Amino acid sequence: SAVISQKPSRDICQRGTSLTIQCQVDSQVTMMFWYRQQPGQSLTLIATANQGSEATYESGFVIDKFPISRPNLTFSTLTVSNMSPEDSSIYLCSVAGTEEDTQYFGPGTRLTVL
């Protein structure tokens, strides 16, 4: 399994500002994903972070709102832009495991937007 860390672990931000969340993995991985877990709800895939190319966004998520970087095989960032209270959520980084299409998750970043 992979060890995944995220920074920050939590933050409280003002409406209209942006926050960049970092995800670091202890090994090289091909596929990295960003999920959102809104209060009391399940996980929703935001995008797949591709190394060397633009991220692939799921329906309902756009690059202008959630720009993603993937400069190498162990690191990715997700920016939540022009935040509103509706963006308050836990943001989780995930990587693909090596068998049975398993996924491993980071500890999450708890974001509160005032």
Which residues sit at the interface with other proteins, rule CB under 8 A? 1, 4, 6, 31, 33, 40-43, 45, 48, 92, 94, 96-97, 100-108
- CB-wise, 13 or 43, nearer to other proteins? 43
Work out how close the CB of 51 gets to other proteins at its nearest, in angstroms, rounded to a whole number.
Answer: 15
Q: How far is the CB of 106 from other proteins (least distance, A)?
A: 5
Q: How far apart are CA 55 and CA 74, in angstroms?
A: 15
Strands in 8-99 per DSSP E: 10-13, 19-25, 32-37, 43-49, 56-57, 68-72, 75-80, 89-96
The nearer residue to other proteins, 28 or 103, going by C-beta atoms, is 103
Cα 59 to chain centroid, rounded: 16
